[in-house]
A and B are shown apart, each in its own frame.
Chain A
């Protein structure tokens, strides 16, 4: 595929349930990002992977949120014991992060998002 894909496009769940959201980055992109967007706001950073490892998870709101990228490509965002406040659009992005001359080039491309609704 040409772009970042995310599944499912919509997820409705009940408070307290566990959910998994999947992201397929652009082929060959080494960096992968998760963001969360609430209504009327800009996306907010959650976690960033370089390869298989989480290079920065400082945006995860609490320990109910966890993400993996075991083979350095597909990533899964996992949310335990969902709460109504977790309802948002979860966006994934990928980039060919690397140096262009002396500057770190990191243009990010976004998927269509997963709209999560917690009832």
Chain B
């Protein structure tokens, strides 16, 4: 099956800093999603981005499908951005395969 690798596994930032999270995948994908899992365990949809670039406030994402990677940018980070960020892909319009996640900690 498809492999999804996220980096870095852990990231610690000071409030106000910028960061880039990466997701590499091993095969062509039909869809790609970025999620934020908050401390209560809820998976929050950030982006649905099988290709191209999208922006939502301080967050933006770019997927280069031909090179099999996606990037999530967080600018001017806030303590509420803390949590685990997951990349997930699907190859056939059905199940999602998740990466191991990036644990982000933003300190005040």
Binding site for B on A (CB under 8 A): 31, 33, 35, 41-45, 48, 55-56, 59, 89, 91, 93, 97, 103-110, 112-113, 115
Contact = CB atoms under 8 A, between A and B. Distances in A.
Contacts of A41: 100-101
Contact of B95 (A59, A89, A103, A112): A59
Nearest to A59: B95
A107 B48 contact: yes
B86 A42 contact: yes
A55 B94 contact: yes
A43 B98 contact: yes
Contacts of B66: none
Given A41-B100, A44-B98, A45-B97, A91 B43 contact: yes
Contact of A56 (B45, B95, B97): B95
A90 B37 CA distance: 14
Interface residues of B, number: 24
A42 B99 contact: yes
Interface string B84-108: 0010101011111111110000000
Interface of B: 30-31, 33, 35, 40-43, 45, 48, 50, 86, 88, 90, 92-101
Interface of B, secondary structure class, is loop
A2 to B, nearest CB: 13
B40 to A, nearest CB: 8
Closest 3 CB pairs of A and B: A42-B98, A104-B93, A110-B43
A104 B94 CA distance: 9
A106 B30 contact: yes
A45 B90 CA distance: 11
Given A42-B86, A42-B88, A106-B31, A97 B45 contact: no
A110 B40 CA distance: 13
Contact of A48 (B30, B88, B95, B101): B95
Contacts of A110: 35, 42-43, 45
**A42, A56, A109 pick with most chain B CB within 10 angstroms:** A42
